[in-house]
Chain A
Amino acid sequence: MRKDAKSLLDRLNRNDLTYREFDDALSDVEPWPIFKALLGDASVVGLSAAPALAQGTTLPVPAAELRLPAQVPVARDAVDFFAHYASAPAPVAPRPADAPPTNVRALLGRLAGDN
């Protein structure tokens, strides 16, 4: 047991802690857009439920409070993307002589607290 936990228990004159879970009321749930996105996704809730849930029929969060961001535009320039890679020079791995020397012994020494 951590010292601070033991100290607290000693002050409370107890041997253990009792945990209690406080459930949020659904009406208090923040309307995070990702929740709306999932509720409108057929692969999560099914084809029949997705539209209804997305409209807020049985939402845990009032639909009116949920705002999905506009779809992020996706550029369809994959060909150009790969062409860029094809024309780019191949990366050159650093030669051992270029690489900074790693002193493993010194590193281990630092980890062990040696100075």
Chain B
Amino acid sequence: MPLILVHSPKGGVGSTFVAAQLALHLARKGHQVSAIDFTFQDSLKLFFNMLPSQSLLDMVDTQSEALVVSGVSLANGHTLSRDPAFHDLLLQTDGTPFGGDRITIADVASDDRALKALLLPHAVLHICVLMPRPASLATLTKIEPGTPAVELKKTVFVLNHLDDRRRLSRDTHSFVRELFGPQLIGTIRRDEAVNEALAMFEPIEKFAPTSAVLPDLLALCGAVEERCGLVAPLDRLADAGRLPA
């Protein structure tokens, strides 16, 4: 099963948010999902309604068991990402550590380009989150050295914080859609309810069930499933007539 890499060259654009929501969605569909926070910030856990003081399993700790929240197995890989033995493992060409039935979603910090480069060959998909801001758009020149952004085979783009009331935001949407075509697999509208839900340690679905973000996330996750060729166990059962579709 695949590794899905979430990395953007610009920080603060919502990569961790997208990684978390994708993990939650896939888990709801019946997949076995792990989400690994490779960042020093350790903020992925907040999207699983954990407290800042709570710790995820450190992946170098072989004695403890991973924490499972909402069906997603959570771990922190920041220390591991600094381990030369892990680098050697990723550099091996005769296999991948991301095998088995489990989908792994890796949240990689924007400035950790070395780790991104090590993980990319193992990934079935690289999700790059953008925002309709010049500083975010400018980083399109730095997605993958040596390969133009529009020619990247594994990379897809998500435009986050879309606000149709703002002219630059609207125009950026049109521009990015035209530039990337099917590489733009989703847009997520801006809604302060996302932050408010985080501050309440509540899922968005519970805190703001009518948020415009929710249908956007659903569409995005569906696009990722389609792109990765993922057939959820629940869908398989429905197709076999054992569950109502």
> Which residues of A come within 8 Å of B, CB atoms?
1-2, 5, 9, 16-17, 19, 21-24, 26, 29-30, 32, 34-35, 38-39, 41-47, 49, 60-61
Contacts and interface: CB of A to CB of B under 8 A. Distances in A.
Contact of B150 (A19, A29, A35, A45): A45
A24 B170 contact: yes
B208 A1 contact: yes
B3 to A, nearest CB: 25
B210 A5 contact: yes
Interface residues of B, number: 29
B148 A24 contact: no
B215 interface: yes
B164 A21 contact: yes
B174 interface: yes
B142 interface: yes
A39 B176 CA distance: 11
A29 B175 contact: yes
A60 B149 contact: no
For the residues of A in contact with B, the DSSP-based class is: loop
A47 B141 CA distance: 13
A45 B164 contact: no
A30 B134 CA distance: 14
Contact of B149 (A21, A30, A34, A43): A43
Contact of A16 (B138, B170, B178, B210): B210
Contact of A19 (B143, B145, B215): B215
B140 interface: yes
B151 interface: yes
Nearest to A26: B174
Contacts of B138: 34, 38
Contact of B210 (A17, A29, A32, A43): A17
